[in-house]
Amino acid sequence: MVWPNKCFDGAHVLVTGATSGIGEGIALAFAEAGARVTVTGATPGEVQTAQSNHAAFDVQQLDVRDDTQVKALIGSFERLDHVVNCAGVIRRSEEHQPEVFADVVDINLTGTMRVCAAARGLLKTSKGTIVNMASMLSFFGGGSVPAYSASKGGISQLTKSLAIAYAPDGIRVNAIAPGWIATPLTSALQSDEVRSKAILDRTPLNRWGTPEDVAGGAVFLSSPMSQFVTGTVLPIDGGYLVT
């Protein structure tokens, strides 16, 4: 992926939850575009794997539920130009238990807010950007994932609200809403012929998306090419929403 004018040369990008899957794809795209990239993982194992696979990344352990950790990490940066919030979990049917529901929302939604709030000062200085991770479940309900759905619906509204609040600081805030993306988290669905066919039959482009597909949207929304775009939630879904 080649971006014009080397618009990310010298920029510092933080991508949370980027040791695998969509976050990893986004981090790689920013690195290829010339940025210095810090990625985070929630566990020592995730951090070790990312360090082994991506020597060019600065890899840090971060629990976005811990406000002290969030502030300490971002406070260690001399500058910060772009933030992409990818840290998130899904717990399927367990989410009907109130304590699991609360934990999923704390990670996916409140964790995103913690990072945004902590990064605001540095992003004000750089006139930077934030890209949050929404979902198709920002638009649809999910019977087995009430916490994930609620958190992703919340990401949509949080993004719009922060776009208004942070605009006087020169910070643009947007979100991307991936459709059905081929990652380790969706491997069971991909291998289930019946469920995979149902997904592809509804997707006009008739294929699973890739992390690289999603990365293009994140990089675009962080670039000067979208300098008049804020408060939007961009579906990257192969047309799934329009059918």
Annotated catalytic residues are 148
Which 3 state secondary structure label does DSSP give 39?
strand
Angle at which helices 146-166 and 111-126 cross, to 10°: 20
Cβ–Cβ < 8 Å for 151, 56? no
CA torsion sign for 12, 13, 18, 20 is negative
- Residues in Cβ contact with 139 at an 8 Å cutoff, skipping those fewer than 6 apart: 177, 241
CA–CA separation, 115 vs 85, rounded Å? 8
Of 31, 32, 89, 95, the closest CA to residue 64 belongs to 89
